[in-house]
């Protein structure tokens, strides 16, 4: 499992010359989310940007990687815009400040991953589902091997990389020990997760 470092401002200097990843959990906004859910969601991304600014005391973001994106330039910005305008704005600010956006995915592997997931949603029998799951797991392994290679090859000494990915995928990265890993987890994240848990217990509804 990837180790997670913590940082206090007085200690920021000792990370300056090390390889660093600032990890941000990627959260998505359902089309039918309630106003209350949208409020937590918007607050989360506001606090993510604030926390990133603070943690850059250990090194300004120089490389940016985001799940689901295998293209670069304006095409990558279009995907970010469709994914989440808050995330798009954060990435644009970092690029304007000198950071480089680097595709994290292989087009072929990502499209295969999407296709197998679509197959799972349509299957009816357990036997067929198990076969599809086996193919899906092979693709998932290859996908993360590719992403790990991209990170290893593009994060140099003293680099600070911004990595945006859903939390469960972070567990599969298993990055080398020479990369310091910082989890950006503002208070709004816990508030949002608690709100969703309450909705599952019929205390709240987070989608209409």
Q: How far apart are CA 100 and CA 61, in angstroms?
A: 9
In order, the DSSP letters of 40-77 are: HHHHHHHHHHHHHHHHGGG----EEEETT----HHHHH
Q: How many domains does the chain have?
A: 1
Q: pLDDT of 14-50, one tens digit each?
A: 888 899 999 999 998 888 888 999 999 999 999 999 9
Provide the token pair at 169.
């995928």
Q: Per the domain annotation, does 11 fall within a domain?
A: no
What is the spatial distance between Cα 77 and Cα 139, in angstroms, rounded to a whole number? 26
For residue 2, name the pLDDT band (cuts at 50, 70, 90).
very low
Residue 180 maps to a domain? yes
Under 8 Å between Cβ of 57 and 12: yes
Q: Where in the sequence is the domain holding 174, given as residue range(s)? A: 18-195
- Give one DSSP letter per residue of 93-130, joined into a string: HHHHTT-EE---S-HHHHHHHHHHHHHHHH---HHHHH
Residue 100 has φ and ψ, to the nearest 5°, of: -110, 130
pLDDT interval class at 92 (50, 70, 90): very high
């Amino acid at each position: 499992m990837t180790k997670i470092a913590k940082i206090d401002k007085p200690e920021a200097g000792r990370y300056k010359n090390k390889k660093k990843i600032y990890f941000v959990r990627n959260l998505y906004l359902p089309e039918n989310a309630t106003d209350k859910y949208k409020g937590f969601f918007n607050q989360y991304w506001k606090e993510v940007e604030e926390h990133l600014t603070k943690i850059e005391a250990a090194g300004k973001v120089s490389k940016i990687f985001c799940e689901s994106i295998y293209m670069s330039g304006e095409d990558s910005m279009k995907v970010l815009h469709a994914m989440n305008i808050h995330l798009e704005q954060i990435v644009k600010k970092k690029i304007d400040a000198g950071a480089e956006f680097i595709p994290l995915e292989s087009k072929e592997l990502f499209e295969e991953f999407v296709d197998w997931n679509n197959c799972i949603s349509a299957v009816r029998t357990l036997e067929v589902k198990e076969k599809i799951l086996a193919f899906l797991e092979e693709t998932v392994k290859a996908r993360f091997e590719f992403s790990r290679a991209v990170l290893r090859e593009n994060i140099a000494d003293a680099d600070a990389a911004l990595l945006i990915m859903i939390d469960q995928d972070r567990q599969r990265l298993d990055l080398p020990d020479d990369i310091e890993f910082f989890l950006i987890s503002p208070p709004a994240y816990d508030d949002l997760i608690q709100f969703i848990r309450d909705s599952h217990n019929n205390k709240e509804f987070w989608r209409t």
